[in-house]
Each structure stands twice: as structure tokens, then as C-alpha cells.
Amino acid sequence: MDRGSKAPIHRQIYTQIRNMILTGDLPGGTRLPSTRTLGMELGVSRITMVNAFQILTSEGFLRSRAGDGTYVGNEWLNEAVTAPEVRRPELSSRAGLSASTRGSDLQRQTSPSWNPEDPESFVASQVGIDLFPTSVWKRLIGRHSEEQSIEMLGYPEALGHRPLREAVADYLRDSRGIDAAVEQIVITSGAQQAINALMLMMTDPGDEVWMEEPGHIAASAAMLANGCRVLPVPIDECGADLAQMPNELPAGRLMFLTPSRQHPLGVQMSLARRMDWVAWANEQGSWLIEDDCDSELRYRGSRLPSLYELDRGQHVVHVGSFSKIMFPSIRVGYVVLPEDLVDSFATAISVTGRAPATLMQAATADFIREGHLNTHVRRSRKTYAQRQEALLRELRNQLGSFIRAEAVDAGMHVIGWLPSTVDDQRLAAQLADKGVYTYALGDYLLERSLPPALLIGFAATDAGHMPDAVNYMVRALRHDGYSC
Amino acid sequence: MDRGSKAPIHRQIYTQIRNMILTGDLPGGTRLPSTRTLGMELGVSRITMVNAFQILTSEGFLRSRAGDGTYVGNEWLNEAVTAPEVRRPELSSRAGLSASTRGSDLQRQTSPSWNPEDPESFVASQVGIDLFPTSVWKRLIGRHSEEQSIEMLGYPEALGHRPLREAVADYLRDSRGIDAAVEQIVITSGAQQAINALMLMMTDPGDEVWMEEPGHIAASAAMLANGCRVLPVPIDECGADLAQMPNELPAGRLMFLTPSRQHPLGVQMSLARRMDWVAWANEQGSWLIEDDCDSELRYRGSRLPSLYELDRGQHVVHVGSFSKIMFPSIRVGYVVLPEDLVDSFATAISVTGRAPATLMQAATADFIREGHLNTHVRRSRKTYAQRQEALLRELRNQLGSFIRAEAVDAGMHVIGWLPSTVDDQRLAAQLADKGVYTYALGDYLLERSLPPALLIGFAATDAGHMPDAVNYMVRALRHDGYSC
């Protein structure tokens, strides 16, 4: 008996007797001592033993005969029970179990992880949560969390909470220039769910899909998980370059693009390139998936029209998320689709995991409607610009001989180019060991076609703390023998 | 100009000029009238025109030459722009686009839908939301919605919010007899996400998987979406019957089971059958997916040990959800896995859509910890039992000659067997047209192996309203010419 355990004593006794029966240590037909005797032996009250016996009897493990005592039952008894296979096998005997090809691929994927309590995080996707107006958020959440309606508590609408779809349509029109009907908008639990569902809907296993190189790791993961072959398209200072793809290549089923801020390199795709891709999609009958990640966080230059607008929504699915502009744990995003594809997409979402909690959708709708989102975007943009400036200054002052970084016009990280002999993946792992978190550019490449670099995030670090944060990185690098 | 539109006038003008440029109606190099002239022509102020021109200029569509006026720019100009493909194509010209096999399959799937404002819903999965303690819920949500921490606002932990994983471990031990370590528990956004991620992790396209017949529609959908072949296993009064599967069949990669309350027939799997399946999994090296749906809502008889416990977690993944025992829009569930598979599963979740919002996880943890869940389960069980009784009484009194239904020991719906000549899918559609929502048993069958029946839910209808609700169904049936 484990008196420190949280399980009640009678439950512990129940579990032990049941396991003895299941392993065959107590064979069917065995007569058990009385509850009084057993209770005394185990040092527990008779009532505790009776409770344990009652559960075992109701479940068929024991049966009591009037005036005769309690026996191990045999309702559940068949060959399986006494066969040795039922004994807890060694883990190695299960090795074949998880050996589907897809499963093994998943096991090999490393997801960059970090400990929020560690000292210095430059994680590129980490937002400045200190800026988020949580008192406003609490009020909006509170407004809906007591609503006892089917709309609020029942299954979420397949296409998303209607008020949020309306708010997103207005938001896209007013701040992004995208003219889409409410009927074209489906709410998702973020860009990742959207991309995975689009792969399910648009591709078959073995299809070729085109992808930015370097590109969004999680998007490639969804492509691979859905059985697609991923063909890399090189990036230059104008964005993904169609002209560099050999003419004899089969037309891809789709191309994945991040035109507002190329992920991870940070460049904005030029208008001419945008038109190239729209023409390609039209000529080939292919799809463009436009992930509009970080389009709100633009510090310099104006935002160019989205692919969706340039194509006017015929071959482009526009994907957006509130994870970066509100906060990551919100898990609310959206897609804009041609209206005739909306139902297929909603089905793909319902197969892979359904819409986010209605409460989160309702509060997000109010956050947009009442102007808090625009205020928060403006505030974040201003503060992030200062944080970027501080990061670049400190990198130049403290690490100028080792890391070369230039300002990005949009987003939450800079690219810190390393000396060509350095292995960026190894370096990132070494830094992470010391609680300094960055991503390696190498992780974003299907082929090793670019020099080594780190993605260094600035959004989550206060400008005043930046000198210390970078100094900590310098010391970590020196400790590992890098001369900087 | 559309003065009724929500878009500001300058934005409307911007969009129109941009579209004229994109379609080639305004070729590159065209000189535009002055903002003053254009404003007068369009009946808008000069400042409105200036605003529109400024956006167009910043995006490269226009360029102004000092002292010379404004011209259509050519930064974006290439062959693509003037090519006819960029004109909005007819929908039919896009037909090839969505024609992936998986995409077409998704388009054919019908998801049962219903309108909550319609009069009489007997939807089998609809819970009695009138019973849920929303004032408690509001308090728990309020407690966490102002927390400005990385833990609460940053990316959700891949395995789920730690306090919720701990609460689930205790809950499973105390109320389900499942002895699992916190490290084996992963939070999901519900059973559907869990099942889809398990298919991704455990199977490859073309693999054979076994499935209850009739069985959980959404589970088969996930199997098919992941490229698996689904083999039906017949159900009898003891649950899924292994003995009815031909010996020469190849071992399935996995079997999907709902032992607590077979979905949709409602029977509980016997202990002997449970041991059969555990032995099968051990012998074949296959997985069992145990969806423990509705195990809390048991009105008669005791709950039998879970497959997970009987196998002691070697070949069984145990799937649970709070959608039915709390409320469907919560989107929080869990799986219990062998510890060495936890990371692969978390990766599969991260590829397909990530964990639910941390706020919902934190409030659910408190709801369990503080005893509200147990109270609510007890209360629901009692009220649902009364509602079932009322439904059966009314079906007997008002529809006894047409529908034959028996009490279920667990769950939220009864099976209403129909005369053998009736087409249950057609009948359910006819009823839905009149705002009476049920599911057809035929929808749950891969092969037509059972007589026609309806799933008739009772959980969401107050017992006092049941006579009227069933009367409404009777009138709908008579209106469609059924003699009852």
C-alpha cells in the first residue's frame, strides 16, 4: 500500500488484486480470504476491503457465493488471460508497432523547443507578450464566458463563429485591402491547421508541390506528412524566383509563398514577381497558398497588394493567423478561399481537428471590432522597431566580427550571418544548451544552398535589456570556443 | 462608388484604379488626370483622391513626375499583366484545380448539420447545455484571462498545459481506474484531432485498419483521409466480435474500438471480448485505439475496466474528450500513450494543428481539480436518465407502431428501429427539412448490414418538453406520408 499515493486505499487494493488476476497469479476459481481477514493482514479497515471487493465483483473479476465466500471469477477468463503475451512486454517487443514509415518520419523531426524560464530567448516566433492588453482581453472574454447558449457552448460552426468571420472580412478589407465576402472566410485554429487541411484537400500522395527554399519548416512538414514531394524554389532579394525553375519540371500542384515577409529570410516579394506567380498559377492550373505571416509588422516601405487581390481569388488561398499579432496561445486564424471550395476545406478541417473554442473566437471578434487589434498592431510595430534597432546595435558592437546582420523591413527576427566555416545547426544547439535560443537557418533548407546563419528574434526582448542579452550570447559563444 | 459600402471612399477608388491597371484597361505609361479634376468628375474631395493616389504610388502602380503629373507605373509590368489569363476566369476553367482524389472525396462527405434555432433537435451528440454551471466556468476563465505570462500567452506546450495533464492523470485514476503517469498524457483539441494524428503516426497509405461496423463516422473519415483501407468488424450485444473476422485476413495495423459505449449502437463490450482484443493486439503486434466516449454517462451496470488498463498500456492508446461531459465548443481532449510514443504523437499534433488555447486548458484543469467536473457528471447522469425515460415513454405512446426503441445503459441517444421497408437516410433528411434532427444509422455503416434505424438523442431536451417534441416528430412523419 502506498499511503503517500493520491489514490484511495480501496482503489489501490482493487488495482493490485485485479492485476494479480489478469497476470494469472490469482487463477480463476481461487477462493479468497474474508474481507475481515484480508483487512487485518493489510492493516486496513474491513469496510475498505468490502469497497474493493464490491468493485471487483461488479466488474466480474470476483464472484461471491452465499455462505461460501468470494472466488476469482471467470467471466473474463479465456486463453488470452493466461497466455504469456498478456504479461507486460518489454518495450523492445513493441518495436514493430510504431514502425509505419510516416510515424518514423515524425519521430525524426525535431521541433525547436525552449524553456521560457531560461535567461535569454531570441526565438524568432516569440512575440512581445508584455505589450498585449490583457485587461481588455479579460473583459472581452468575461463578456462571453457565462453565455448559456447553444451558439456559445454547442459544437462550433464548421466555418467558424459568424461574428468573427464578419470581423475578419472587415479587417482584411480595411487594413489589408482584401475584398472577400464573409462566405469565403473559414476560421482555423491557426496557420498550421490551415496548411495541413489545404494539403489534404488539394493534393494526393506522390504529388509534387513547390516550396520556398529556405522556407517555412512547419509547412514542409505538412506537405511531407500528406505524402507530397517537395520541390525547392530559390529565393533572392525579390522573393521566390520562378525563373530559376527548370522549364522541363512538371507543373506543381501548388506553390507555397510568404510574399509579405519571406519566411525566414524576411524579404518582401516584388510586384513583378507576384505577377509572375499569379500567371504561373493561371497557366498551369495550380494553386498558390499565400501565407500572409507578419504582414502587419512592417517597419519600412509599404505593403504590396496580396497575391489574393492580384489574382482576385481564383487560384490563391490566403492564410492568416492572430498568433503573432495577438498572442500565440490564442490558436485562432483564418483562410480566404474561393467560395466553391469553402465546404471541402471545412470538411478537411473537421477531419483533422475542428474549429477553435467558440469563446476564443467570440472574444477575438470583439477585439477586432472594437479597435483593440489596430491599436495593438500600431503599438507592437513601434516597440518592435525599437527592439530591432537595439538588437542590431548590440550585435554590431559586441559581435560585429562574428555575426553580420542587417535590418529587416518586417517581422520579428533578423538573419545573423555566420563565418562560412561554422555549422549553424550545431551552434544553435550549443547556444540552446546554455539557455540562449535561436533557430539555425540550416533547419529551413531542404538543400544546403545558403551560408550558415541564425534567426535571431527581437520582439520579446525589451530594448533596455538588449545589451545584457547579447552579452550573455557572447559569453556562451566564447565558452564553446568560438572566437568572437 | 458605393456609398453604402463599409470601405472608405478613397479605398474604393484605389481598388477600381488598381483593377483597371491589372486588367490592362489602363496600360503602363498612361497619364492620369489631376487629383482635382478626377475628384470633381467622381464627386469626391480632392483629399480623397490624393489619399487613393498615395496608396497606388506607394505600391508602385502609379508614379508621379515632378511638375508633370501622374502616370501608370511599370514596376509590376511584365507580360503576365496584359496576358488574358489574369482576367477573372470563369469558375469552370478552374475545375481541374480542386480535382485531387482526396479533395473530391472530401467534397462528397456530408457532415450532418442542423440549425440550433429550429424547433426539435434529437441530434445524438448534442449535450444538455442547460445543465452546465456557466457561472463557475466564468469565474475559472476569469482567473486566467488576465495572466500576462509566457506560459499563458506564448505558444502552448507541445504536450499540453502541465496543470491540465496533471489534473487529467488524477481524474483518470480516481474516476476511471486508469493508472497513467503525467508523462503519458497529451492534451488534444478533442477526439477527432487525436484520431487523425494517430492515423498519421501509426499508418502508411494503403495500410489496412479495422473498424467497428457500424462505427464512428468521423473516425472512418480520418482513416480514409490518411489513405487507409477500412475493414468492418461486426458488432453484437457484447461489442465488436473478433471471431467473425475471417482467419485469412491480413493483420490490421490497428483496430478502433468504443468499448464503454459502442458508437452508435450503445452496447458495452464484455470483459471476455476485451481480453480477446488485447490478445489480438499482442499477437499481431497491432494497435488498439480505445475511444472512451461517454464512459461517464452510464446509467445502469458498472463500468468495466478499460482496454488500456487490461493491456496495461502497451498496445492501447486511450482517447478521451471533455466535449460531451462539459460542452462541445470547449475543444479540449486528451490521449494516454505509451511513454515512448508521446513525442511522435506530439509531432503529429503539431503538423496537423497544435494544442488548444492555453486559457481553455487552464480553466479545464481548475474545473477538474476543484471537483466541479464530478459534480457536473453526477448531475448530468441523473437528468439524462430522466430525459431518456421521457423519450422512451413518448416514443412508445406516440410512435410505438412505427419506431421501436429500447433503453441504453450509457450515452446520449437511443436507437429507434424502423420498419424494414423504410430508407433511414431518406427519412432523416425529410425530418431535417422540417427542423427535426436525428442521424440515420445507415450513415454509420460501411456496408448495409443492419435494418434501418434513427439515432435519437435525448440529452438536450427537457423531460417536460418531450411530449411536444415527439409530437412534432409524429406530425412531420405523417406529413411525409409515413403511417404512424
Confidence at B106, pLDDT banded by 50, 70, 90: confident
How many inter-chain contacts (A to B, CB under 8 Å) are there? 390
Q: What is the pLDDT of residues B437-459, one digit of tens each?
A: 999 999 999 888 899 999 999 99
What pLDDT is attached to residue A94?
47
pLDDT value of position B179: 87
**pLDDT band at residue A411 under the 50/70/90 scheme:** very high
Residue A320: the pLDDT is 97
Higher pLDDT among residues B412 and B353, named by residue: B412
Q: B297 to chain A nearest CA, in Å?
A: 17
Contact B129 A351 (CB under 8 A): no
Q: Which of residues 102-141 of A touch B (CB under 8 A)?
A: 102-103, 106-107, 109, 111, 113, 116, 125-127, 129-130, 132, 134-135, 137-138, 141
Q: What is the mean pLDDT of residues B17-27?
A: 81
Under the banding of pLDDT at 50, 70 and 90, the label for residue A96 is: very low
Among A79-83, A451-455, B126-130, B205-209, the range scoring the smallest mean pLDDT is A79-83
CB atoms within 10 A of CB B478: 12
Q: SS3 for A361?
A: helix
> Would you call B49 helix, strand, or coil by DSSP?
helix
Cα A345 from Cα A339, distance rounded (Å): 10
The answer to whether A208 contacts chain B (CB < 8 Å) is no
Q: Which region among A20-29, A30-39, A328-337, B413-422 has the lowest average model confidence (pLDDT)?
A: A20-29
Is a pLDDT exceeding 80 seen at residue A308? yes
Question: Of B80, B329, B332, which is closest to A156 when you measure between CB atoms?
Answer: B329
Inform me whether the C-beta atom of residue B271 falls under 8 Å from chain A C-beta atoms: yes
B339 touching chain A per CB within 8 A: no
**Three-class secondary structure assignment of B335-376:** EECCHHHHHHHHHHHHHHCCCCCHHHHHHHHHHHHCCHHHHH
Nearest to A181 by CA among A171, A194, A191, A166: A166
pLDDT digits over B216-274, tens only? 988 999 999 999 999 999 999 999 999 998 887 877 899 999 999 999 999 999 998 99
pLDDT score, position A29: 82
Is the per-residue pLDDT at B69 higher than 70? Answer: yes
Quick one: closest CA in A to B132, which residue?
A148
pLDDT score recorded for residue B92:
35
Q: Say which residue, A3 or B288, is predicted with more confidence.
A: B288
Within 8 A of B307 by CB-CB distance, chain A residues are: none
User: What's the gap in Å between the CA of B482 and the closest CA on chain A?
Assistant: 31
Q: Does residue A276 belong to the interface with chain B, where contact is any CB pair within 8 Å? A: yes
Q: Which three cell numbers stand for residue A55?
A: 468493485
Q: B286 vs A86, A100, B249, CA distance in Å?
A: 14, 11, 14
A203-255 per-position pLDDT tens digit: 988 899 999 999 998 899 999 999 999 999 999 999 999 998 888 787 789 99
User: What is the gyration radius of the CA atoms in chain A, in angstroms?
Assistant: 29
Please state, rounded to an integer, the average pLDDT across all residues of chain B: 87
What is the separation, in whole angstroms, between the first and last Cα of chain B? Answer: 59
Contact assessment for residue B100 and residue A201, using Cβ atoms and an 8 Å cutoff: yes
A380-396 average pLDDT score:
97
Of A86, A130, A174, the CB nearest to B282: A86
Question: Where does the pLDDT of residue A113 fall: very low under 50, low under 70, confident under 90, or very high at 90 and above?
Answer: low
Predicted confidence (pLDDT) at residue A91 exceeds the cutoff of 50: no
Cβ <8 Å between B279 and A328: no
Q: What pLDDT digit, counting tens, does each position of B111-131 carry?
A: 555 555 555 689 888 899 999
Average pLDDT over residues A313-333: 93
Predicted pLDDT at B211: 96
Judged by a CB distance cut-off of 8 A, whether residue B480 touches chain A is: no
Distance CA A351, CA A56 (A): 39
* Higher pLDDT among residues A180 and A117, named by residue: A180
Convert the pLDDT of each residue in A182-204 to its tens digit: 999 999 999 999 999 999 999 98
Which residue is closest to A460 within chain B, CA to CA? B150
The predicted structure's pLDDT at residue A277: 94
* Rounded-to-integer distance, Cα A345 and Cα B113, Å: 16
Percent of chain A with pLDDT over 70: 90
- Whether chain A has a CB inside 8 Å of the CB on B101: the answer is yes
pLDDT bucket at A21, cuts 50 / 70 / 90: confident
User: Higher pLDDT residue, A94 or A12?
Assistant: A12
The length of chain B is: 484
Q: Which residue has the cell 450515452?
A: B411
Reported as a pLDDT band with limits 50, 70 and 90, residue B14 is confident
Residue B83 has a pLDDT of 32
Q: Domains in chain A, please, with CATH?
A: 9-84 (1.10.10.10), 120-127+381-479 (3.90.1150.10), 133-374 (3.40.640.10)
User: Which residue in A422, A408, A474 sits closest to A453, CA to CA?
Assistant: A422
Are the CB atoms for B230 and B211 separated by under 8 Å? yes
Q: Quick one: pLDDT band at residue A118, thresholds 50, 70, 90?
A: low
Spatial distance between the Cα atoms of B446 and B230, rounded to a whole number of angstroms: 9
What residue spans of B67-146 are helical by DSSP H?
A: 79-82, 101-108, 134-144
Per-residue burial over A184-204, b = 16 or more CB atoms within 10 Å of its CB, e = otherwise: bbbbbbbbbbbbbbbbbbbbb
Closest by Cβ to A148, choosing from B111, B129, B330: B129
Q: Tell which wins on pLDDT, A421 or A71.
A: A421
Could you tell me the three cell numbers for B319? 482517447
Give the whole-angstrom CA distance, residue B123 versus residue A63: 40
Chain A residues whose beta carbon lies within 8 Å of the beta carbon of residue B15? 177, 179
For residue B207, give Cα distances in angstroms to A75, B10, B180, B203, B338: 34, 57, 29, 6, 22
What are A249-298's pLDDT values in tens digits? 877 899 999 999 999 999 999 998 999 999 999 888 899 999 999 999 99
Which residue in chain B is spatially nearest to A222 when comparing CA positions? Answer: B351
CA dist., res. B26 & res. B307, Å (int): 70
Higher pLDDT, A6 or A339: A339
- Average pLDDT value for residue range A432-451: 90
Q: Say yes or no to pLDDT of A92 above 50.
A: no
Nearest to A198 by CA among A165, A217, A226: A226
Alpha-carbon distances of B121 from A380, B133, B365, B432, B475, rounded to whole Å: 46, 22, 31, 9, 15
Q: Could you give the CA distance from residue B425 to residue B431 in angstroms, rounded to a whole number?
A: 10
Q: Are B458 and B380 in contact (CB under 8 A)?
A: no
Give strand pairing partners of A287.
A254
Cβ B192–A351 below 8 Å, yes or no? Answer: yes
Residue A95 scores a pLDDT above 50: no
Q: What is the pLDDT of residue B411?
A: 96
Q: Is B309 helix (H, G, I), strand (E, B) or coil?
A: helix
CA distance A159 to A185: 7
Query: What's the mean pLDDT in B23-35?
Result: 83
d(CA A370, CA A377): 13
pLDDT of residue A110: 53
